[in-house]
């Protein structure tokens, strides 16, 4: 039987099969309860988490970790805030122990205003971590050459930015994202960061991207739970639309209603 | 001895990383540690000896994007 666009369409990441193509961050929500509700509304199976300095008696980390564990989702720890290879590698090693996962969202930030990845450090850190048994999800730019080097370094997934983190600008460079998709047809590609509206997520999925990772657009929405659902719908609409193969744009109008049999069509028009 | 813990200078009695966690009332099960920017596994904390001016990081799970 022919495969249909509406058939089951799991996402495979490092051998893990997932029904959801929306990965969401856990930061900046108005409350832990709203965070939990938003994760459910997004139907997310993966959430991103981080490590931060703990003060002795506060036990803040334990409370947050208990909340996430109770939701039964898979976690993708990040190296957010790291600015050198050494910081990123050590943070990843600490994350693997605390979260008991070899998955790591690798961030090596190179510039403060744009939070642009330091792609040179990123490739170096990705190679070190891959050799050490990590399964690396690199937060990268849309650069094709960097993408190639990350794959050679051992990454099986790429996560190019849509726009700088937290800007809600959507897809800054659709041309380059389309080129990335065409160049790496078999590699899971996830647009990570910079999205603001569900239509941005749908647009990325319509380009053929395999998933979306975002945080701020949901957490900072007027109603984060409703926005989580809206993004889930946007991701699904974009994905099904991509698989259904959209028609190509054309310059001239073409009537959708049949022309044959149009009333009065034999009358001369002024 | 005087060391730096999570960016703060402290006078501590502990001579190992494991003893430091105990002295500062951490729950050692729920934190990860680094000594002078190098990861120290849970099982290695007893053997990780501290000296003056060492820099220790003690981290735990947090919200992240």
pLDDT value for A56: 82
Nearest CA in chain A to B22: A56
pLDDT value for A1: 47
CA A181-A183-A186 angle, to 5 degrees, is 70
Q: What is the mean pLDDT of chain A?
A: 95
Cβ-contact A157, A102 below 8 angstroms: no
B6 to chain A, any CB pair closer than 8 A? The answer is yes
pLDDT value for A3: 59
Is the model's pLDDT at A270 over the cut of 90?
A: no
How far apart CA A218 and CA A199 sit, in angstroms, is: 13
Nearest CA in chain B to A25: B65
pLDDT value for A266: 85
pTM of this prediction exceeds 0.90 = yes
Over the stretch A71-122, which tens digit does the pLDDT of each residue have?
A: 999 999 999 999 999 999 999 999 999 999 999 999 999 999 999 999 999 9
Is the model's pLDDT at A210 over the cut of 70?
A: yes
Which chain A residues are closer than 8 Å to B37 by Cβ? 86-87, 90
Looking only at the bridges linking them, the beta strands covering A135-140 and A159-160 are parallel
The answer to whether A149 is a known catalytic residue is no
CB contact under 8 A, B30 and A59: yes
Nearest of A101, A118, A122 to residue A14 by alpha carbon: A101
Percent of chain A scoring above 70 in pLDDT:
97
Over the stretch B10-21, which tens digit does the pLDDT of each residue have?
A: 999 999 999 999
Q: Choose the closest CB to B25 out of A53, A56, A165.
A: A56
Q: Crossing angle for the helix pair A119-131 and A85-99, nearest 10 degrees?
A: 40
User: What ipTM was reported for this prediction?
Assistant: 0.97
């Amino acid at each position: 039987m022919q495969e249909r666009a509406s058939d089951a369409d799991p996402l495979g990441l490092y051998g893990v099969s997932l029904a959801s193509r929306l990965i969401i961050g856990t930061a900046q929500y108005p409350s832990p309860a709203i965070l939990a509700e938003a994760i459910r509304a997004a139907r997310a199976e993966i959430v991103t988490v981080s490590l931060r300095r703990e003060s002795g008696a506060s036990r803040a980390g334990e409370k947050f970790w208990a909340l996430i564990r109770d939701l039964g989702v898979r976690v993708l720890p990040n190296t957010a805030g790291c600015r050198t290879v050494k910081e990123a590698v050590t943070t990843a090693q600490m994350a693997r122990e605390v979260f008991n996962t070899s998955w790591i969202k690798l961030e090596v930030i190179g510039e403060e205003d744009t939070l642009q990845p330091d792609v040179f450090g990123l490739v170096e850190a990705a190679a070190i971590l891959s050799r050490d048994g990590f399964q690396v999800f690199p937060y990268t730019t849309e650069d094709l050459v960097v993408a190639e080097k990350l794959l050679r370094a051992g990454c099986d997934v790429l996560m190019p930015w849509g726009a700088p983190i937290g800007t809600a600008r959507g897809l800054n460079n659709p041309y380059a994202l389309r080129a990335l998709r065409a160049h790496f047809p078999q590699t899971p590609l996830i647009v990570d960061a910079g999205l603001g509206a569900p239509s941005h997520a749908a647009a990325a999925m319509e380009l053929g991207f395999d998933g979306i990772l975002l945080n701020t657009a949901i957490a900072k929405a007027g109603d984060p739970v409703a926005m989580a659902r809206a993004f889930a719908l946007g991701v699904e609409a974009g994905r099904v639309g991509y698989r259904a193969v959209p028609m190509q744009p054309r310059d001239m109008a073409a009537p959708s209603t049949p022309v044959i049999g149009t009333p009065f069509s034999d009358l001369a028009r002024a | 001895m005087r060391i730096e813990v999570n960016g703060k200078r402290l006078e501590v009695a502990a001579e190992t990383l494991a003893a430091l966690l105990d002295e500062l009332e951490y729950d050692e099960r729920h934190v990860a540690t680094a000594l002078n920017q190098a990861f120290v596994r849970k099982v290695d904390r007893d053997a990780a000896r501290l000296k003056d001016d060492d820099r220790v990081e003690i981290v735990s799970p947090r919200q992240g994007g």
